[in-house]
Structure 1
Amino acid sequence: MMLATAMDPLSPPPATRAIPPRQPAVGFVRTDISGPDAERHAREIQRYAWRNGFRLLYTVRPPLDHDDPIGYALGLAAGLDVPVIVVFDLAHVDNRPELVCDDFDLVTVCPPQTWARTSAVGW
């Protein structure tokens, strides 16, 4: 009796499973909103992103004295060419998801929700 080996051309290929690539994303934490919970919120964003199939490239933390912290995060996300911004909650975007959704999908950790971008690429 002859057993098939990996080198045997008649043996079936090993079982493989396609793993879809993770979609790149940027986290956004405002220290003026999160206060002493900023570190925890950043970790929650990281965990949530990983569990939901995102590859978190960076967590943006605008300087406290910046006039437009949301614009700061949007500029960095555009520079990294990511399609998704993940925040802990809507307070980080002044409870106005439309500020982000012109160019990005917005994902919140608490409550877990997604707002789709309103502009389509190439339109």
Structure 2
Amino acid sequence: MKLAPFAVSLACALALSACAHAGGAGRALAAGQSTQLRPGDSVALPDRSRLRFVEVVNDSRCRPGLQCIRAGEAVLAFELTGGDGAKSALSFDTSAPEPRQRAGAWTLELQSLDFAEPPQATIKLEAE
């Protein structure tokens, strides 16, 4: 019967698709490392807390290839869920001299935000 290999292939494809859309649910970030997140993605931190990229709240940055009077800025919203389930909001502003936020035992640094759709942010985790 030739349906069995097809069914197995279909099941594998569906499982891979589900993993691709899980928003980085299985990813972990260690101190000193950077990761790239899109809105909706989350990453586990070493203390069992989770960081989730909620959205780009505002983006007035000058797009590549355009001439602008000023560079503009973007504001990004993140949510940190502690190991105890307590949630706190974090906000990063790209116009800040050092876009960093303290979050419990961690410092999170926004290293970059690209112009892709959806945008991808690079975040670095540092221990305090």
Same fold (TM over 0.5): no
TM-score under structure 2 length normalisation: 0.31
Larger radius of gyration: 1
The structure richer in strand per residue is 2
